[in-house]
Amino acid sequence: MTDPTPAAADVASLTFEQARDELVRVVTELEQGAPTLEQSLSLWERGEALAARCEQWLRGARQRLDDARAQTEGDL
């Protein structure tokens, strides 16, 4: 297994809100059109990493809710 790139490591440390806000910025920048293909690809890759981070946070939140519901139902 290879070490994560610095950008991926950076994304891994973001909160949900930070990742979401940066993802919005990246999407806006992509919609406006980056000056070069290389910049567009870099933005796209960053956006993919940010989206994955948001999904990771959401899966974790969903699991916590499911666990809380199961605990509540178990207490009844």
Virtual CA dihedral for 13, 19, 21, 25, nearest 10 degrees? 110
Over the stretch 12-28, which tens digit does the pLDDT of each residue have? 999 999 999 999 999 99
Look over the chain and give the mean of its residue pLDDT values, rounded to a whole number: 89
3 vs 38, which has greater pLDDT? 38
pLDDT greater than 90 at residue 4: no
pLDDT score for 51: 98
At residue 6 the predicted structure's pLDDT band, cuts being 50, 70 and 90, is low
